[in-house]
Amino acid sequence: MKMSYIIDGYNVIYALGLLNTKGGEGRLEAARNRLLAYLSESFGERSARVTVVFDAKRAPRGTQSEQIVFGLNVVFASGEKSADDWIEIAIDQSREPRKLVVISNDTRIQEAARRRGAQAWSDQDLLNDFDTDSQKTRVEPDRQPDDRPGPDTPEEVQHWVDEFSSIVDDPELRKFLDQDRFA
């Protein structure tokens, strides 16, 4: 059964200790980016079924209320709605709440999920899920020495250098790599 996930963004940022207390302006945006990069990598192929909800009062200037970031659906709750309100409405409107996992340490959100039959996870449940997934993917079948791929030929190396040389000039990638996201 394919599950969908709704994540209380700031709740998980604080719970996982991703907000650097030093740094001043831009530290909240850096924490958001660290969280989104981590979630995207950890969810992998499931990323398209993940929605991360943040309160809009802390959104970066000029940010759209709904966007795709690192393959994740990102929502900045706006107007009179808080992120918690947005999540509760999404839970209530879910057509298949049994296929929904809501991730927040907030009791109000967890109770709303359980009332509809959705799964309510804490940040620790999320980390445990990632640990279980990574253990599954770490196990490799036994290989015989002859099954190992050989070294690339000089032509193959040049092909890949040519293929990816323009990536250095990609402004989105540069912006992503220039941030202090793993501090």
Mean pLDDT by 10 residues, the chain (183 residues): 93 86 74 92 93 80 82 89 93 95 95 96 91 54 43 67 68 62 48
Instruction: Check residue 74 and give its pLDDT.
Output: 95
CATH number for the domain spanning 113: value is: 3.40.50
Instruction: Check residue 86 and give its pLDDT.
Output: 95
Do residues 72 and 47 lie in contact, with contact meaning Cβ atoms separated by under 8 Å?
Answer: yes
Single out the residue of 70, 43, 48, 6 nearest to residue 133, CA to CA: 43
**Pair of tokens at residue 162:** 């040519």
Range of the domain at 57: 4-136
Query: Within a domain: residue 170?
Result: no
Instruction: Provide the number of structural domains found in the chain.
Output: 1
Q: Which residue has the tokens 């030929």?
A: 153
Query: Within a domain: residue 103?
Result: yes
